[in-house]
Structure 1
Amino acid sequence: MLSFNKIDEVYEDFAHGGSGWIEGGNYTSFDVNGKFYFDEYIAENENIDAYAGLGLGYFKVADESNVSGNVTLGLRFWFTPVWGLRLQTLGKFAFDPDKVYANNNFIHSLELLYRF
């Protein structure tokens, strides 16, 4: 997954010498995740795919970068054989927690899907 975003403000933790909300910057991330689909163990429904995943990522906020361990949880709903909707949360847990900008974060997404 590749992501490009802009962050307006970042909360700088007082424990790390911060002073509260500070100006953000551009956010870029690249993630590689493996997924385990577990919906078939819960209910027999061909229109819903539930999954959890683990992976690694790299992200950069403003001028800082970090590497992360990722945890993913998501659902795909298929309305037709080709059209669907995905709701996903990706937690990125930074390997170097002393960074101000590039630290632990979550990415929530709602996506329209088309498969062919």
Structure 2
Amino acid sequence: MNHTLDPIWDTVDDLHTWLEQESDLPPQQETLLRMLKLTEEVGEVAQAVVGATGQNPRKGVTHSWQDVESELCDVIITAMVALRTLTPSASEVFAGHLRRVSERSLGAAS
């Protein structure tokens, strides 16, 4: 088994713990807001793509493709923390889901 993601999930656990400690909201509300945070982050990806391509004539080119990369990373981190919020077994849930998607998309040989 490849354990290269363990440090990543350790960091996700640390971020989750930090967010839990900083929150004054009821747990159910905090969970819902973490799910909604994904929408905000995806919107920032869209904004960066529009800015990188200069699609807003009034603003022109306002972002780089490196900005898009950074925003995509924020989406991934936010999704990982959201998944960790739903289950302490987030790394196993993700690994199992990725395996199923891979098998479905790439075939059982992958």
Q: TM-score w.r.t. structure 1 length?
A: 0.24
Which has the higher relative contact order, 1 or 2, with Cα contacts under 8 A spaced 6 or more apart? 2
Which one has a larger percent strand, Structure 1 or Structure 2? 1
Q: TM-score w.r.t. structure 2 length?
A: 0.25
